[in-house]
Every structure is written in structure tokens, then in C-alpha cells.
Amino acid sequence: MMTSKNPVSNIAPETVLDFLHHTLPFNELDDQALRELARHCIIDFIPKGVVIFRQGETQIEHLYLIQKGGVKLYLEDDHGQITLSDFRGESEYFGALPIMQNTRANLNVATVEDTFCFLFPKTAFLKLLESSPKISHYFLRSLSEKLVNTAYAELRRHRISPRSESALYLFSTQVGTAIKGQLQTIAAEASVRQAAAKMSEKMVGSLLVTNPTGKIIGIVTDKDLRTKVVAAGLDYQTQITTIMASPVQTIPAHAVCFDAMLRMVRQRIHHLAVEKQGEIVGMVTSRDIMLLQGTSPFYLFREIVAERTLKGLHSLAHKVQRVVRSLIEEGAKADNITKMITVLNDRILERLLTLLIEELGPPPLPFCWLMLGSEGRSEQIFKADQDNALIYAEAEDQAKMTSAAKYFENLSVKAVDNLVQCGYPLCRGEIMASNPKWRKSTFEWQKTFDAWISKPKPQDGPRSTIFFDFRPGYGDFSLADQLRQHLIKSIPNHGLFLYLLAKNALEAQPPLSFFRNFIVEKNGEHRNSLNIKANGLLPIVDFARLFALKNGIRQSNTLSRLQVLHERGQIKTELYDETVKAYEFLMQLRLVHQLHQTEEGRQPDNYINPSNISDLEKQTLKESFAVVSRLQHQIKLEFRLSEH
């Protein structure tokens, strides 16, 4: 029996294994790799208040994974000034960056609680990075965040205050597109002095060395000049080939920038030659890649705000979508992503209307651009049809009203047209500010809403609901607020309107059978699929809208509406918690589904085939639909609507 022969190597350190099984990114490893890693593990206890790493001093020998307790990471400058950088707690690690960069501790690390850590020796960790791409991606991603932060620290002196940033575009941008400028070469027989002259003339940090036949045989960088020539006291007439690095490290043009960074970090180099069909077409440097990361949401935000032309705005608007993927990669939830997209879209609208007003001259009367439907609820991720309207203030003077109407027509038509160019398609139902029906004065708008509320017709149900989700987008927000105030006052007194809204909210049933099986589409294009928007998300949106309007709640976002309802005790905590979970899950599922579709160049839809999702997702989806049933039951009770 094995155990009796060699007991030592056969013990599974279950405690460690269990922990790793539940810890990112180690849970990605297969069982054997985990066991191998666990075998090298050392458990250490560090009492509260002990400094484990000293910045610039400690040679890091282990990756530390916190089993229990916590540490703080902080920087100390030359004057002894301490800047707190981060806290790390259970299941989080420290020490990875200095190991990968082969440097001493980059920060001070001290325990803030009694702490137990799993220590993995440097060699075991490096071996793991080599053998497991998933692990190295994970660590390098967090590493790249830190690199960016370092880059920002340098920028701080010039203009901006740094923010925590992440490696957003690294995964979607190909190396080929990151090339800046022409490829610069120098002949092999040239001297060091000539190389230095050419570098400063062309303002580049590296030159490729070519032999007489034009073949690239090596690379020389400004660092080589510093370390191998100047610092070493070498004669400037030395032939360039003696200091060049050979062969040149290359990367295919179609590789993503993340891979380029991975190579640079691993090989501790700053330049890579970009290869396309066997030919070197340019160079990328670590600096180029860091600059590229500048197009993260924060940067995009700044660019939008600073954009001076409509044309520039159109192209920036198309970048918004690219943020989604990166955010998902970073582990953001649908709710966070919609918030980010909403902020960016709002900025684009603001900028767009500002530029148009600069062009058309100041508006004759105060106005407000209204966003309706999913945009009004701040729930849009992928660009959907435009739903917007315009409201403007009243004037005594009839002539002024007429000229204002003309001005706003002009503004709206141009705005809608520009939004199309930004990638937001026209609304098929013509619910847009460019349509004179949806461009009115405050009084006209009140009249329109009053008509919907006091003389509701069953047929204007679904169409009018999107108006009730309006949100001010640009201009004088008080006009929108007054309108909302008007609704808050009048709606609760109109039982029939609410009754019809309630009936309307029950129209789409969750696709679950009596036995809690999915009911899928039987035929057509979406055979065997479920529409998670119509039968899952929208009933929740309808529920939140119905109860928000009934209770005079001004919010338009579904989660905010639910939150206020819960705070006011109008929905029980348990139902609230489950509804939020169901809603977030459905949003997430839809988001991932639509992302796949857009990346495959297809038009995003809402149809999920249950056989394409995992068992856990299926289970959660069923539970989410069950929550929808409970919400609809609640509506039936509240409005005395019998089963139909």
C-alpha cells in the first residue's frame, strides 16, 4: 500500500487545498497542479502590527496568500510621509509584483490583524506562471493595473490627478494598431555615435540593425547606449553590432496588446518588433502600450468632455461600446456596467447638444431634453433605438412661442441626426424629439400626461409606459422635475390608470410550466429559446414602475425604484432581496449573451437557449422566473386582479 511506503508525499493538505479551491485564480488549476502547489506551501503566522515587507529593502522570497487576517500596503517617501495604498484581506495576496519584476519590495506591507498566510516559494510561483496561462493572465492583469498607476504617478506632475485604473484596451487592441511612426533602421557597420545621432534626430528610443542585404539582425535601444556605452566608458566609434541585442524579439501584428505586454514583462524588455507576414513592420514599446490604456472609461470620459467637434464626438461615441467588454473582463457586474455606460452616453448627449447650441445660438426659452424608456431608466448597455422628447418653458408672447418652436425643431432634428451618426438608431415608433408630437411646452406635456392618466385607453398601455420613465438629459432639469412633481401628485388618484397599468404588467408571463420547467418557443427563428427580456426583465421593470407611480416615487431606474419601495416598507425585505438578485442575474445573462452576439457581428437579441447555459445558470434562471411570478402575484393581490 502506497501510504505505508511513503506517507509523506501522499498526504493531501486538505486545509490548503480547500482554501485554494475557493480562491482566485488558483481555483482555475486542475487538481494535480493544485496539489503540487499545496505541497510547496508554508503556513506562517504574523501577529498584528508586524512589518513583513520593507519598501526597497526586502528581497521577496514568497508569494503571500492571506488565509485569515489582513494587511495594509503603504508607501513611505524620503521625508517619511506615509501614503496608504491598499488593504488586503482573506483570500487576497501580496508579493506577486516584485517576484514577477524580480525587484525588491515595491511597498511596505504590515499586518493590521493577527494574520495567517500561505507562503508559496518564488520558484514554485514562477513555475506556475510559466505553466498556466490563466494564472499568469490573472496576475499580469493586476500587475498591469499597477504599471498604469506608476505611469500616472509620473503624469501627476503634469496635469491630472491619478485614479485607480485598469487595463481595459489591452484585450481588444491588436499590436499592429499600436505602432507609432515609421520603422527606423541603421546599417550594421554604423558606429554607436551615428546610432545615437539618428535616434535623437528621429526621436525614437530604438533602431533596428540591418545587414548589407537589408535583413534585420538586431536591435539597439537608448538603454543600450546608456548602460553598454556611456556607463561602461566604451569608445563612441565602436561598431553598433557589438552592443546590439540579437536576435530581435518579435510579435505578430494580430496579437493583442496584452500579449505584447506579457512578453515585455516576462523578458524584461521594452521594445518588440511587430511582424506581419514574415516582415517587420514597426516597433511597439512599453510606453505605447501604457498610453493605449489611457482609453479606459475615465479617459474616454475626459476625451468626450473635451471634444470640440461633432465629427470627433461621433467616433468617440463608437468607443463607448468597447468599454463593455473590458469591464466584463474586469469582473464588473451588469449593474456597474450600465451605470458606466449611462454616464458616458449622458456625456455624449451633453456635449452634442452643447456643440449644436453653439452652432445655432442660444435657445429662446429654457428647455430640457428628455430621455425615455431604457435610457430614461439608465438601463441601457448596447445601443438601442433612440427614445427621446423635448420640453420647453411657456412664454406669454405668442410670437416668442412660435420662434421657440422653430428653434427647437431645428435643434431636435439636428440632434437626432447626430445621435444616429453616434450609433443610436432611429426609433421605429417615431418617439423622438424630432417628431413634433413629442416636442412641447410644459403646459402641453402636462395635458398629454393628464390625458393618459385620466382617460386611459387599454391600447395605449405599452406605448405610453416608456414616457413615464422619463429622465432629464440636458438643459433645464427643473422643467422635467416639475413635470415629475405633477405626476407624483395626480397619478395616485387615478385608480383606473393604475389598474390598466397593473393589467398590462401581467401580460407577459414568466416561461415556467406548472412543474417549473422552461416553456420555450415552439417554432420560428427562436425555436427552443426563451425571451428573457419580455418574460423576465420587463415584468420586473413593470412591477417597479407600477408601484413607484402608485406611491409617488420619483426615481426612474428600476433598482432605485425597488430600493425606495423597500425603504418605505412597500415591499418585504425577502421579496426585495430576491427581486434584486433575479433582476441582476437576468441583466447579467442578457449582457453576456448580447456581447457574444455583437462580437460575432450579429444584431443583439434577447433569446436564450437553455441548453446553451450551465446547470447552475439554468437553476438560477428558473428561480429568477419564479420571482417574477411572485411579483405578478403581488400585483394581482394589490389590484384585485383575478387569474386570467
Partner 1 sequence: MLRKLLGHLGLAPPAHPTFAENWRYFKELSLNKPLADYEFIVFDTELTGLERHDEIVSIGAVRIRNLQIMVGDTFYVKVKPQKKLPKKTTLIHRITPQEIENAPPLSTVLPKFIAYCGKSLLVGHYIGLDIAYLNQAYRHHYGAPVSNFCLDTMRMAQTYTEMQWQLHLDHLQTEASASYSLAALNTRYKLPEFTHHNAYEDALQTAYLFIFLVKKMKPKGVISLRDFLKIGQTWRIFF
Q: Does 43 bind partner 1 (CB under 8 A)?
A: yes
- Return the residues of window 142-161 that contact partner 1 according to CB under 8 A: none
43 vs 451, beta carbon nearer partner 1 = 43
Q: Residue count at the site for partner 1 (CB under 8 A)?
A: 26
Q: Does 205 bind partner 1 (CB under 8 A)?
A: no
Three-state SS at 197? helix
- Return the residues of window 56-115 that contact partner 1 according to CB under 8 A: 67-68, 114
- From the number of C-beta atoms within 10 Å of its C-beta (0-12, 13-18, 19+), residue 139 rates as buried
Give the containing element (helix H, strand E) for 490: helix 477-490
Strands (E), 171-236: 185-187, 206-210, 216-221
Measured from the CB of residue 60, what is the shortest distance to partner 1 in angstroms? 16
CA angle 360, 365, 368 (to 5 degrees): 85
Instruction: Report residue 554 as a C-alpha cell.
Output: 420619483
Q: Which of 75, 91, 116, 301 binds partner 1 (CB under 8 A)?
A: 116
Q: Could you tell me which residues come within 8 angstroms of residue 118 by beta carbon, excluding any fewer than 6 positions away?
A: 16, 19, 41, 42, 43, 64, 65, 67
Stretch in the footprint of partner 1 (CB under 8 A) among 7-15, 213-221, 364-372, 449-457: 7-15
Strand order from edge to edge, sheet including 206-210: 185-187, 206-210, 216-221
Q: Does 40 bind partner 1 (CB under 8 A)?
A: yes
Hey, CA dihedral for 594, 596, 599, 605, is it positive or negative?
negative
Measured from the CB of residue 55, what is the shortest distance to partner 1 in angstroms? 23
- Return the residues of window 293-352 that contact partner 1 according to CB under 8 A: none
Measured from the CB of residue 462, what is the shortest distance to partner 1 in angstroms? 53
Measured from the CB of residue 11, what is the shortest distance to partner 1 in angstroms? 5
66 vs 587, beta carbon nearer partner 1 = 66
Q: Does 11 bind partner 1 (CB under 8 A)?
A: yes
Q: Which of 13, 312, 423, 461 binds partner 1 (CB under 8 A)?
A: 13
- From the number of C-beta atoms within 10 Å of its C-beta (0-12, 13-18, 19+), residue 644 rates as exposed
Q: Does 425 bind partner 1 (CB under 8 A)?
A: no
Instruction: Report residue 467 as a C-alpha cell.
Output: 414616457
Q: Does 443 bind partner 1 (CB under 8 A)?
A: no
14 vs 358, beta carbon nearer partner 1 = 14
69 vs 456, beta carbon nearer partner 1 = 69
* Residue of 131, 143, 239 whose CA lies nearest to 189: 239
Q: Residue 216: beta bridge partners?
A: 210
3-state SS, one letter per residue, for 18-47 = HHHHCCCCHHHCCHHHHHHHHHCCEEEEEC
Hey, CA dihedral for 19, 25, 26, 28, is it positive or negative?
positive
Q: Does 16 bind partner 1 (CB under 8 A)?
A: yes
Measured from the CB of residue 234, what is the shortest distance to partner 1 in angstroms? 46
Q: Directed axis angle between helix 495-505 and helix 538-550, to 10°?
A: 170
Amino acid found at 10: N
Pairing of strands 388-392, 439-441: parallel
Three-state SS at 293? helix
Q: Does 32 bind partner 1 (CB under 8 A)?
A: no
Measured from the CB of residue 63, what is the shortest distance to partner 1 in angstroms? 14
Q: Which of 22, 24, 31, 47 binds partner 1 (CB under 8 A)?
A: 47
3-state SS, one letter per residue, for 386-438 = CCEEEEECCCCCHHHHHHHHHHHHHHHHHHHHHHHHCCCCCCCCCCCCCCHHH
53 vs 474, beta carbon nearer partner 1 = 53
- Return the residues of window 249-268 that contact partner 1 according to CB under 8 A: none
Q: Which of 29, 34, 38, 219 binds partner 1 (CB under 8 A)?
A: 38
40 vs 302, beta carbon nearer partner 1 = 40
Q: Does 353 bind partner 1 (CB under 8 A)?
A: no
* Residue of 584, 547, 554, 549 whose CA lies nearest to 569: 547
63 vs 453, beta carbon nearer partner 1 = 63
Measured from the CB of residue 38, what is the shortest distance to partner 1 in angstroms? 6
Stretch in the footprint of partner 1 (CB under 8 A) among 34-42, 242-250, 490-498, 543-551: 34-42
3-state SS, one letter per residue, for 513-574 = CCCCCECCCCCCCCCCCEECHHHHHHHHHHHHHHHHHHCCCCCCCHHHHHHHHHHCCCCCHH
CB atoms under 10 Å from CB of 383, counted, come to 20
8 vs 399, beta carbon nearer partner 1 = 8
Do 128 and 121 contact (CB within 8 A), yes or no?
no
Measured from the CB of residue 64, what is the shortest distance to partner 1 in angstroms? 12
59 vs 164, beta carbon nearer partner 1 = 59
87 vs 236, beta carbon nearer partner 1 = 87
45 vs 87, beta carbon nearer partner 1 = 45
114 vs 623, beta carbon nearer partner 1 = 114
Stretch in the footprint of partner 1 (CB under 8 A) among 12-20, 198-206, 621-629, 636-644: 12-20
Stretch in the footprint of partner 1 (CB under 8 A) among 14-22, 139-147, 210-218, 277-285: 14-22
Hey, CA dihedral for 230, 235, 237, 241, is it positive or negative?
negative
CB atoms under 10 Å from CB of 222, counted, come to 17
Stretch in the footprint of partner 1 (CB under 8 A) among 3-11, 371-379, 519-527, 537-545: 3-11
Stretch in the footprint of partner 1 (CB under 8 A) among 33-41, 242-250, 381-389, 602-610: 33-41
Q: Locate cell 499586518: which residue?
A: 111
Q: Directed axis angle between helix 297-306 and helix 310-329, to 10°?
A: 170
Measured from the CB of residue 110, what is the shortest distance to partner 1 in angstroms? 15
Measured from the CB of residue 40, what is the shortest distance to partner 1 in angstroms? 6
CA–CA dist 428, 623 (Å, integer): 34
Q: Does 45 bind partner 1 (CB under 8 A)?
A: yes
Q: Does 41 bind partner 1 (CB under 8 A)?
A: yes
Say if residue 247 is preceded by a cis peptide, omega within 30 of 0.
yes
49 vs 56, beta carbon nearer partner 1 = 49
Q: Does 22 bind partner 1 (CB under 8 A)?
A: no
39 vs 486, beta carbon nearer partner 1 = 39
Q: Which of 23, 39, 74, 91 binds partner 1 (CB under 8 A)?
A: 39
Residues lying near partner 1 in the complex (CB under 8 A): 1, 3-4, 7-8, 11, 13-16, 38-47, 67-68, 114, 116, 118-119
